[in-house]
Structures are given as structure tokens and as C-alpha cells.
Chain A
């Protein structure tokens, strides 16, 4: 049967808005940015589950929630069917061996004073797995796996001696050295030069096969999502508006927002002067999101009901879900 690695249920994260001192005296009402506002999905073992959307849609917050870097406001997170929403202390530490994260900026995610070998081997010491000569062996092995060869050379260098692509390989090595089951990759290639980007994506695919990994792949770039993910959720203002097999979502999008997003993606071909669905305006403020469907003020197909009633995420065809009043 389906082997579910990650499941989130009605997950929410509200960040309180910082106000000035005078303002807090005048109004007692606290305001919140509803970064993630009630999302549910499941990730099966072996999936590369994509989370895509514009800045501020909540995709990064979702990744941080699942990797338990921040606490949810409400909702539940399950890992291998076990509720991990509130695990703490030693239990959380053990969980971290299983769930790892790769960040966007390989320049900020490595300690500039730590040699690559030490940075990659650090998790082994933190988790008390091994140290000394055995550690070195494991580090060399994993450096080789991520294509930093000869590993003996890379073991001894500092981050500033490496290019962006090589640094991201180091970050990947550090993430896989604990042999995790699940990796959150938050925009892992958006700061990498174009000619190198594909090699990082291909490396991630290769590692997935050899370590039987499952990824949550967060990206703003639908072309990248199309290449690497097999399931895809599109987020808008803290909600999932569409979810399904990547192929279906990107070739037969159901939600008007997905359609608009897709038609805005530039194509490397000047002949492809495709018709764009121009949507007006910009993403509204997540403090006071529009009532009903959050996309309705910009939606070219909005109806009367959309401003009043929030559409539920419903399964339209097998495995393909959409939250829109146009359907059903």
C-alpha cells in the first residue's frame, strides 16, 4: 500500500506583527501574518513533492514547519505515521537525523571558518555517531558521492575557496551524511549559475535513487519543478490552490491562478510568443487576506460566490485536487 512518509493536517502558522510602542497602547488588537493558513497534504516514500508559488505564499514556512525549525500555530505533522508536531528534547534530536534540510543560499549556510571536511562531518559528532578516523572515512565517502573529487582535497579547503555550485554540493553532503529518509530542499538551485544548475538537480535525483530518499522540493520556478518533481502543490497566500501529479498540474492546470502563473513563465525561444493570461495587480497582504477565495480579486474568472465562500480543496480527477468554485 501507499507508504506515507510525511503527512500534514490543517497546518497553520501565524506570525505576530511587530508594532511600535505607541501603536500597541492605542490598539490592543494583535495582528498576524497568516503565512500558512490550513494546509493538508501527504508525501509518499520516493516522491519528489514540489511546493511552488510566488514570494510570500508560505512555501518556505511550510518547509521549516515540517523540518521542525519553527513551531506551528495549529495543525498536525506526521512522519512515518508518528505525530511529530510536539516532539521535544532527545526525541526531536533523533528526529533530526531522519529529516534534513538544504537551504537556498550556499554562501550563508556554511561556516566560513570551518573546513569542508569538518562541516560535513559535524553532524556525525553532534549525533554521537562517530569521530576521528572513522568520521574522516565517512566524510570522504560522502564527498565523493556528491561529486567533490578528489575528496581528500575538498576535505581540507574552506568555503570561500569554492564556487556556488560546489558549496551547494557540500550542503547536500552534510544533509545526507546522517542517512536521512526525508529532505526538505528550499530553493536549492535558485542561487546557482545556470550552467551548473542542472548538475545539482541531477545529483539530487541520483542521490534519491541510491539512498531511497523522499524530498520536499520548494521552488518558485515552475520549469525546475517540472523537471524534478513528480507531485506538485501550488500555493497562494498561505493556501494550497491546486495539487496533483506534476505532469497534470502543468499541462492541464485547473486553477486560474496556476494557469496565470504558468503563462507568465518565460520560455527560451523567441518564436514562442504565447498568449499570456495577464492578471492584474500583485499578491495582497497576508495580514488581511481577501475573504472567500484569496485569489478572487485578481481572478479573470471570478464569480459572485468567490468573494463570500472559501472553496475547499477537492479531488477532481484521481490524485488531482483543486480549490476553486469553477469545479464541482
Chain B
């Protein structure tokens, strides 16, 4: 059984001006111990995906179709009180901005112990012991147990968030742009920490980012999202060696690479689609340099082109 399997998921936001199809029929999966990178630009649906897995889609958004199987259980069908037991305990999250996720009136130690006590039937002394151990794991000195969030720097706060996310030994951690607000040296420290924790504890991780370079540091498998669709879903190495989807190709050519000299930077013409009126057929077709007649009319299916490589594009082996 897979750790997570998403089938035909659709998440729509019903706003005054119409329906925003933030996620419009996607298929994804991951196994235990794997790290899945989800890459996409603004409006691609990547953050909505995280919220959907946690069942935290804010109104007027709704999961309208499909299933999210977590260890075989469909999360979309769970009662709210059962879902609450999954959040934190089985699936936890690390957000972009740690300052808004931490209570300014609670010490870091309290954050951790309260979280542990809310879910585990143990006494406070044992919980404090566990909390100290967690701080140690994420590289925060024990003497900062009684400090408040504002006394920590951005990078240290993100370490606290990771400790909190790990507190209940969840099966899956979802990190949504965890390093976007951080400076590059601190970003490297946090990515190193995540990788260590993953290797050491066999942690399963979904890393969501707009930055291909960040994702390439950790992910075993990568899903490239565009306008509510998964365009390419592939093992990480072959994806970077030989991207298949024209969108992935364009994205890679538009990222400045510090290791290259005389790089010719290309860009993808046009603008990201208006999600209230997305293009027909393949949503990338108006910007695609290789668009064909059919791309405008029909939506391509996500097909397996070679082992472990899925792509949603008419250029690849299907008779449409």
C-alpha cells in the first residue's frame, strides 16, 4: 500500500466572479521514506494541494471530486473529528512564515510540550524530556527552551517549526515553501537539516516550492504543476537530465544557474493563465512552443512514457 495516493482530485474555489479550478483532476502518489517535490509558479495549485491533504481548504474552496488515500484511508471522506486526529499526529506541516504559525505568548518549550501532551498520554516531565530531545535534533541549544518566538531569528524559528512538525512522529511532513523567507546561507542550513532528518529517521516528506533548485536538493520524485494540473511526474534524476514536458523544459531554461558561464537565459512567452478562465485543452498550450492543433481542443492524459516517468502532453506516445 502506498503512503499517499491522490486520484482525480479537484479542488475549486467558488468566488463571486466564477469558479477557480485551483486543482483540476490530478493524480499523484508517494511511498514511505520518499520525498516528493512539488514545483510550480504562483497559481499552479501547489499550496492548495497541501491544504487539501490536510483538509484545510479555506472557504469558498471545496474538494469537489476525487480521493486522497493516506495509508489506504480516504481523507476526503473522514469526519472532521477523525481528521483532527490525523493532523499533527500522522501528517504535519511546516509553513513558509514561522512567525505567524507560532504563538508569541508561549515559550518554545511550551509549544512543544503542549503539542506532545495534546496527543500522547504521558506526564509533563516525560513530555519536557521529549521536547528537549527534539530541540537537540533540529540544532537548537537546550538553554533556549524557555525563550519566546520573538527571541529567535528566522532560521531558528523555522527549526522550531520543524521540531514541532516532528513532535508526534508523523508518517508524513508537508513543508510548504519552508525556506522562501530565509537568506541563502540559512536556507542551505535548513535544507541540510531536512535532508539529515529524512535520511536518519526515514521521514517521508512533501516539499513544495516555486524553486526548482531548492527541490532538486532533496526530492526523490518531482511533480511539476501548472494551472491546476500535474504536467510531469517523474523520478528526480531523469527529470533534471532530460525534462519531457515543454513547460518543464522552459522552466529549466529560465532558471539562472550559478555554475554555468555565458548561460543564455530563455523565458516562457506569455503570462500564467487567468484561473477564472483557463485555456481550453492543455492549459499550457497558449505558451507552448510546440503546441499542436489538438492541444487546444483536448486535454492530454497523464501517461507513463518510461518507467517512473509520467507526462501530460500529446507529444508523447499516445494516439489521442
Contact = CB atoms under 8 A, between A and B. Distances in A.
Nearest to B268: A195
Contacts of A208: none
Contact of A266 (B187, B250, B252, B266): B187
Label chain A's interface by main secondary structure: helix
Given A196-B268, A266-B191, A266-B216, A272 B259 contact: yes
B267 A250 contact: no
Contact of B184 (A227, A265, A270, A278): A265
B258 A193 contact: no
B240 A196 contact: no
Contact of A166 (B187, B219, B236, B271): B271
A194 B184 contact: no
A264 B188 contact: yes
Interface string A19-58: 0000000000000000000000000000000000011000
A222 interface: yes
A260 interface: yes
Interface stretch (B23-31, B103-111, B207-215, B298-306): B207-215
A201 B266 CA distance: 10
Contact of B214 (A55, A198, A261, A266): A266
Given A226-B256, A269-B240, A270-B240, A193 B210 contact: yes
Interface string A266-301: 111111100010110011000000000000000000
A266 B268 contact: no
Contacts of A278: 188-189, 192
A309 interface: no
Contacts of B212: 194, 268
Interface residues of B, number: 44
Given A163-B271, A270-B237, A261 B250 contact: no
Interface in B258-289: 258-259, 261, 263, 265-269, 271-272
A55 B182 CA distance: 9
A224 interface: yes
B56 to A, nearest CB: 25
Contact of B250 (A195, A227, A270, A271): A195
Contacts of A194: 41, 210-212, 251, 254-255
A122 interface: no
A221 B184 CA distance: 8
Nearest to B185: A264
Contact of B272 (A193, A247, A266): A193
A193 B273 CA distance: 12
B185 A279 contact: yes
B271 A270 contact: no
A267 B213 contact: yes
A226 B252 CA distance: 17
Contacts of A268: 212-213, 216, 240, 252, 255, 257
B188 A250 contact: no
B136 interface: no
B42 interface: yes
Most-contacted residue by chain A among B192, B213, B236, B269 (CB, 10 A): B213
B258 A226 contact: yes
Nearest first, the 9 closest Cβ-Cβ pairs linking A and B are A264-B188, A266-B213, A198-B267, A223-B256, A199-B267, A195-B268, A54-B183, A198-B265, A193-B41
Interface of A: 54-55, 163-166, 193-199, 201-202, 220-224, 226-227, 247, 250-251, 260-272, 276, 278-279, 282-283
6 contacts: A163-B271, A194-B254, A194-B255, A195-B250, A195-B254, A268-B257
Given A198-B267, A224-B256, 4 more contacts: A223-B257, A265-B258, A268-B240, A276-B192
